Amino acid sequence: MKASKPLLILGGGLMGLAIAHALAKRGRTVEVLSRNRSEAAGFVAAGMLAPHAEGLSNELLKLSQLSLKAIPSWVESIEKDSGIGCDLRNCGIVVPFRSYSELETYSTASFGEHLNRKDLEKEIPGLASKWQAGLFFPQDGQIDNRRRLMRALEKACAELNVHFQEGVEVLEIIHDNHFFTGAKVRNAEGKVTILPAKEAVLCSGAWSSNLLKELPIFPVKGQMLSIQGPKAALKRIIFGPGTYLVPRDDGLIVVGATSERGAGFREGLTPFGQTELQKGIKNLLPNAITWPPMERWWGFRPCTPDEKPLLGPSSIQGLWLATGHHRNGVLLAAITAELISKSICEIPLKNELKVLMKAFLWNRFHTQAKDS
């Protein structure tokens, strides 16, 4: 019996690995094409699971809440398949405000517990005195994506016989009369070939529009750093305006992130970006400015005009989309993997998901343009 062509995953970042894992568990033969997994946004993000702390709204909030609910069982499956713990922690997130009037206008205020200054000092010892009120979201949390989740997903995929081609750049999506037929690729030695396939998932993050020009995706550069605090010095995530502090279990604190919409794909750290992060630390937790720096890095968020992802079928039959997640890739990975894998395998979605998915179709911008 002739073996069927594998389904291609175009992009080996968090989204690509999550979808590859979900499809492999459903019995599909999967091949992941990745130019350089270390540049994936999944290695760069802070790992916050924060739909309420980030003040999301409407369909994006609903999708994120569903994903947040699905994450514990999703992570359990990854840990079981990989043998690697992902350090999923329901640590809660505090959003500080200068006044109660500011707090009351926050879009997700109804989901959080209201804190006064005394409460804030108990939850965040050393919080700057300017913050007089706060919201505590006990349902929000974090996962160690940079050191744990990405590695666990790679191992879990390998254990399920997902095939990887690292150092492979996808040059072009091949289709015949809008039916997907394969991908033109260039390997690390510079050899160009065409990989035939009937189905693929485009999850190339900020680079996705290079392969499908009609996708309104652009990069938003973010710079980050980490500092080493005393163990248990910070038990909650602080989500402040422009800066957040995410404490890991060993005392490491991830500090993020700049949002540089005009930087394009310009690589590297900048003095301005790093200074902004230092200002952010001082603005939230002044004592932490003296804690030693550990790492500094940058990455590119895949953003759309409405900052919502592109999910579902594309204009090419057999080519699926899972890209444009902007700040919420880690949070939305579980629900994205479920949506895309079930859709590809023709497994019926719950009606709520089926209706919700319509808000994330790629052609919503074209529809809006026609309506206007």
Domain with CATH 3.30.9.10 in the chain: 92-139+218-301
pLDDT-based confidence at residue 1 (cuts at 50, 70, 90): very low
Residue range 328-363, pLDDT digits in tens: 999 999 999 999 999 999 999 999 999 999 999 999
pLDDT at residue 27, as a whole number? 97
Given this model, what pLDDT does residue 38 score?
67
> pLDDT band at 367, cuts 50/70/90?
low
Tell me how far apart the alpha carbons of residues 18 and 201 are, in angstroms, rounded to a whole number.
Answer: 12
- Please tell me whether the peptide bond between 233 and the residue prior to it is cis, using omega within 30 degrees of 0: no
C-alpha distances in Å from residue 37, one per residue of 13, 143, 155, 204, 351:
6, 19, 14, 10, 35
- The answer to whether residue 167 scores a pLDDT higher than 80 is yes
Mean pLDDT to the nearest integer, 186-213: 96
pLDDT greater than 50 at residue 372: no
Residue 321's pLDDT band, with cuts at 50, 70 and 90, is very high
What pLDDT does residue 2 have? Answer: 40
pLDDT of residue 11: 96
Q: What is the 3-state secondary structure (H, E, C) of the chain?
A: CCCCCCEEEECCCHHHHHHHHHHHHCCCCEEEEECCHHHCHHHHCCCEECCCCCCCCHHHHHHHHHHHHHHHHHHHHHHHHHCCCCCEECCCEEEEECCHHHHHCCCCHHHCEEEEHHHHHHHCCCCCCCCCEEEEECCCEEECHHHHHHHHHHHHHHHCCCEEEECCEEEEEEEECCEEEEEEEECCCCCEEEEECCCEEECCHHHHHHCCCCCCCEEEEEEEEEEECCCCCCCCEEECCCCEEEECCCCEEEEECCCECCCCCCCCCCHHHHHHHHHHHHHHCHHHHHCCEEEEEEEEEEECCCCCCEEEECCCECEEEEECCHHHHHHHHHHHHHHHHHHHCCCCCCHHHHHHHHHHCCCHHHHHHHHC
Q: What top-level class would CATH report for the domain 7-84+146-217+306-371?
A: alpha beta
What mean pLDDT is predicted for residues 151-171?
96
pLDDT at 196 over 70: yes
pLDDT at 3: 47
CA dihedral 281, 89, 86, 162 (to 10 degrees): -100
Q: How confident is the model at residue 47 (pLDDT cuts 50, 70, 90)?
A: very high
Q: What pLDDT does 5 receive?
A: 85
| 72's tokens | 């514990």
pLDDT digits (tens, 9 = 90+) for 18-41: 999 999 999 999 999 999 876 666
- Residue 162 makes CB contacts below 8 A (sequence gap 6+) with 20, 21, 24, 30, 31, 32
**Within 13 Å, how many C-alpha atoms sit on residue 10's CB side?**
34
Domain 92-139+218-301 has CATH 1.10.3720.10: no
Residue ranges of the chain assigned to CATH 3.50.50.60: 7-84+146-217+306-371
**Statement: residue 184 has pLDDT above 70:** yes
Band of pLDDT at residue 42, cut at 50, 70 and 90: confident
Find out whether 255 and 239 touch, Cβ atoms under 8 Å. Answer: no
Structural contact between residues 162 and 26, judged by C-beta atoms closer than 8 angstroms: no
Max distance between CA atoms of the chain, in angstroms, equals: 71
pTM of the model: 0.95
